[in-house]
Structure 1
């Protein structure tokens, strides 16, 4: 079983290398993180926090947009693409279960995304350390950011597999993926903000809003990372939100894990119903 999973994961890694996915994702993450690191020196002196903390907080907000998009672009054709190319029948005719197939895909894409995060964000962390603008505590913040960004990426990889399994056409799966990114990353927060403005002291703000944040893995990720920074009230604007919630910020990680497990289970159920 493990050998078959690793074989599928290795194939996905090779595809990522051949299609320049790893290089492209690394360049995108590295370019944005370096830009934020270079622009983060001005507020550091004003707010009284170190430059690396400013950079990590900025990257936590940036990752909410970039990581889900990269994950969905990696996963949208994982199932529908195999159907389009006529290779899914060949794969399922081999002695491999559909759970092993999905697990191998997820593991391979997870490695591609994690490698891109380590390289892209790691270069920025090393640069800050080399220039004397960082600290070992800041390096731990970077490590936490990379680890939680990988978890966020896995959640959206799972969502991408579910969307891909719902259609037999790659173009339709791509449209689903972009629509899911737009709804969860952009429109969801705008809807919550609008409801808060419309009823700032009502039951929504006290009873619904805290749990609405947990339902969205992107918001749960941002809440945990910005609340975990000692200076989050200065650079993240999330300390007040975190303190007002009826649960600790670690609930954000639990929410991401539950979203990932549920979405992978739904994707597996859908794949088992596919007839190549």
Structure 2
């Protein structure tokens, strides 16, 4: 555990030194504040934002931005070090590949979690100050939001690790990771909508939704705040009794599965 903690601490310090923590936190804070307070004004209303509407808007925003930030952070975690010759040097020390993988994931995952808490926490504090809702209600809603956002970030971070362990250059890692982002964030729901139009089996569609961490993230938040304005593919879940613990378990399964796949790829990677 000491070796893993040392690697994680190094990754976190490197991320802080390279301004990842400041950069991502600033992006999340500015965008979340803009969506929360400028969104109603664009619609011609100057009333204080409502909590369900705010969480719904933030979930939609975060579903696009968080996976992209995670991919940018992790796509060169292994192939970049291999190109620079430092990966071989690291493995010459008494460090197992599993320890290196887990240490990197914990360190860079901590960076992503910190950026989520800082960036969206600023919006939460502003809403508490304006007394948009009860303090307990706001803390609970944003607590669920930040936890789900962190899990989403971890899922895409580990997904980018798998890509980084498969390809031979940083450029290819970025392209493949960006393609996966496009498929899971944008194309996936379009395909599901096509299945709905084709009147495919609702159970199959709901199952496919549960296998996408982006939709899982949005659903967990929308169901928690009781947003009734959901439409499209997400309405298939919100209009039917699907266990919320099952959604959280699916999130956990994504993390565990991607860690396992990453370890399997790393063990078979020629350095």
Q: TM-score, normalised by structure 1?
A: 0.90
Compute the displacement of 1:139 (Å).
2.0
Distance 1:222 1:246 in 2: 16
Partner of 2:250: 255
Distance 2:240 2:265 in 1: 35
Distance 1:243 1:193 in 2: 15
Distance 1:208 1:175 in 2: 30
User: What count of residue pairs does the alignment treat as equivalent?
Assistant: 268
CA contact (8 A) 1:227 1:242 kept: no
Consecutive unaligned residues in structure 1, runs of 5 or more: none
Distance 1:129 1:45 in 2: 23
Distance 2:155 2:211 in 1: 12
Compute the displacement of 1:39 (Å).
2.8
Compute the displacement of 1:41 (Å).
4.6
Distance 1:174 1:135 in 2: 43
Given the alignment of the two structures, is residue 139 of structure 1 paired with residue 139 of structure 2, yes or no?
yes
CA contact (8 A) 2:128 2:138 kept: no
Q: 1:50 to 1:251 in 2, by over 3 A?
A: farther
Q: 1:144 to 1:246 in 2, by over 3 A?
A: closer
Partner of 2:182: 182
Provide runs of 4+ in structure 1 moved above 3 Å: 40-46, 236-240, 243-246
Compute the displacement of 1:5 (Å).
0.7
Partner of 1:219: 215
Residues 213-238 of structure 1, C-alpha deviation per residue, up to 9 Å, x if partnerless? 011111111112111113x103x448
Partner of 2:94: 95
Distance 1:172 1:127 in 2: 41
SS of the residue corresponding to residue 233 of structure 1 reads: coil
Map 1:45-124 → 2, pairs under 5 A: 51-124=50-123
RMSD (Å) for aligned C-alpha atoms = 2.2
Compute the displacement of 1:206 (Å).
1.9
Compute the displacement of 1:250 (Å).
3.0
Residues 229-260 of structure 1, C-alpha deviation per residue, up to 9 Å, x if partnerless? 13x103x4488433444631332221121122
Partner of 1:126: 125
Partner of 1:158: 158
Distance 2:190 2:250 in 1: 20
CA contact (8 A) 1:221 1:253 kept: no
Compute the displacement of 1:134 (Å).
3.5
Distance 2:241 2:134 in 1: 33
Compute the displacement of 1:143 (Å).
1.1
Given the alignment of the two structures, is residue 275 of structure 1 paired with residue 270 of structure 2, yes or no?
yes
Compute the displacement of 1:53 (Å).
2.7
Compute the displacement of 1:168 (Å).
2.3
CA contact (8 A) 1:125 1:134 kept: no
Q: TM-score, normalised by structure 2?
A: 0.92
CA contact (8 A) 1:220 1:256 kept: yes
- The one of 256, 259, 264 equivalent to 1:264 is 259
SS of the residue corresponding to residue 64 of structure 1 reads: helix
